[in-house]
Amino acid sequence: MQYYRCKCGKGYAYTSMGVFPCARCRHCGSDYAQHPDNHREPKPHLLMPHDVETDEGIATLHRCQWCGARKAEIEAKGEPFEYEEATK
């Protein structure tokens, strides 16, 4: 396990896979890094369209390519996002 922390120290993550480029602290807005000199500007969530089957037929659901969060979840947190068209 590796330890990642934001600039203010209130947000942290333990992971062996690294953190997503869109991950940010909800308090200070910085990304998570293992050393204070390694902080970068967090990237906006990259939303990709996914077709899902519903009772009313096929609908499109947008999820972040990196973390998998739905558009509604991202909007509720007030985090930035951008769209990318699916390459098929």
Question: pLDDT band at 65, cuts 50/70/90?
Answer: very high
CA distance 17 to 24: 16
Q: Does 36 map to a domain?
A: yes
Owning domain of residue 78? 45-83
In one-letter notation, the amino acid at residue 33 is A
Burial 1-22 (b: 16+ CB within 10 A, else e): eeebbbbeeebebeeeeebbbb
Residue 30 and residue 3 share a domain: yes
Is pLDDT of 36 > 50? yes
| pTM score of the predicted model | 0.81
Q: What is the pLDDT of residue 85?
A: 65
Number of structural domains in the chain: 2
Is pLDDT of 37 > 90? yes
